[in-house]
């Protein structure tokens, strides 16, 4: 376990052993900075845990706080969310540690990350802060409530740190006309979706009334059938958004898209699949020989190559 040193309110020895912490874990797998969540998707529930062992007497010596003081251990996360803004969330509840005895205190933190608000990566900050300054504390000890005694940061990628298209379940009976209610899924694109990242401008809705289908696609340990269905879904999503882009009058050769946006990804894909062709020429290829156009993208998406 890594030894934690306190800063800036150090009063005792520099090599403190007051607090020892484990790494954040997910499903018993340690998550250090640079780790990724394998198989992550927007429908997953991410419940992270972390353990601390606190030597109260050593902690008082390090910080100069008295035995009537209380420190608070908490954690929060931030990730790029809607329109590239940072979405911030906090652990609930934080854990308060009273320093009135000399025993070793073991603390467990739990952090729930809402996958639907995550894009690319998550930064988790763990903080030990002053919650109550007890009488008799050193004049050099922290005074303001919330003073940060120690913190660390863990950066976790969502499967190689790439934005992904959210897949969610929704009632088609409640949201679509009767002749559309037995469809398997639907791909939604929002306003200015080409200029946004994949996780904010696009949604794929699975028909929640098709329970067997949604259960297969949501499986955490996919078998052969699950892999086949996911191949079909991925191809259909990309076929849909590429066709929508080509049907969009604003999607032109002169249109500029930032790296990582949907428009940038589609333009990059079309450049590779149709080298030295303008968008007008690619549109003509689609119009004049749609089967060839479809075959091109089946190859691009490794369509059903699991078979």
Nearest to 266 by CA among 237, 292, 290, 289: 237
Neighbouring CB atoms inside 10 A of 219's CB total 15
Q: How many CA atoms lie within 13 A of 122 on its CB side?
A: 29
How far, in Å, CA of 36 to CA of 25, rounded?
A: 11
Least confident range of 33-47, 208-222, 290-304: 33-47
Q: Whole-number mean pLDDT of the chain?
A: 81
Residue 116 has what pLDDT? 61
For the stretch 207-246, pLDDT in tens is 999 999 888 887 766 677 888 888 888 889 889 999 999 9
| Percent of the chain with pLDDT strictly greater than 70 | 81
Average pLDDT over residues 16-26: 81
239: Cα within 13 Å, side-chain hemisphere: 20
The domains of the chain, with CATH numbers, are 3-157 (2.60.40), 167-300 (no CATH)
The helix/strand/coil state of 177 is: coil
Contact 95, 111 (CB under 8 A): no
Q: What is the pLDDT of residue 240?
A: 93
Q: State the DSSP H helix or E strand holding residue 187, giving kind and residue range, or none if neither.
A: strand 185-189
Buried b / exposed e over 200-218, threshold 16 CB at 10 Å, is: bbbbbbbbbbbeebbebbe
**Taking the model in full, what pTM does it have?**
0.53
């Amino acid at each position: 376990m890594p030894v934690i040193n306190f800063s800036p309110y150090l009063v005792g020895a520099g090599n403190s052993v007051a607090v020892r912490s484990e790494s954040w874990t997910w499903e018993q797998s340690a998550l250090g900075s640079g780790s990724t969540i394998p198989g992550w998707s927007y429908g997953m529930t991410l419940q992270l845990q972390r353990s601390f062992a606190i030597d109260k007497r050593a902690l008082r010596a390090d910080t100069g706080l008295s035995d009537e003081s209380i420190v608070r251990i908490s954690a929060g996360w931030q990730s790029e969310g809607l329109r590239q803004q940072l979405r911030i969330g906090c652990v609930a509840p934080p854990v308060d540690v009273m320093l009135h005895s000399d025993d070793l205190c073991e603390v467990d933190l739990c952090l729930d990350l809402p996958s639907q608000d995550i894009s690319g990566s998550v930064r988790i900050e763990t903080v030990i802060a002053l919650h109550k300054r007890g009488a008799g504390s050193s004049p050099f000890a922290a005074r303001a409530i919330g003073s940060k005694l120690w913190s660390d940061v863990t950066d976790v990628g969502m499967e190689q740190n790439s934005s992904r298209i959210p897949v969610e379940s929704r009632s088609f009976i409640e949201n679509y006309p009767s002749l559309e209610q037995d469809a398997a899924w639907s791909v939604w694109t929002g306003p200015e979706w080409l200029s946004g990242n994949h996780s904010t401008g696009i949604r794929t809705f699975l028909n929640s009334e098709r329970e067997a289908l949604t259960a297969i696609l949501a499986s955490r340990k996919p078998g052969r059938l699950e892999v086949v269905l996911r191949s079909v879904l991925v191809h259909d999503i990309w076929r849909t958004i590429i066709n929508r882009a080509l049907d969009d009058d604003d999607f032109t050769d002169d249109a500029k898209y930032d790296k990582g946006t949907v428009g940038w990804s589609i333009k990059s894909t079309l450049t590779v699949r149709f080298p030295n062709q303008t968008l007008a020429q690619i549109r003509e290829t689609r119009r004049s020989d749609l089967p060839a156009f479809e075959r091109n993208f089946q190859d691009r998406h490794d369509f059903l190559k699991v078979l």
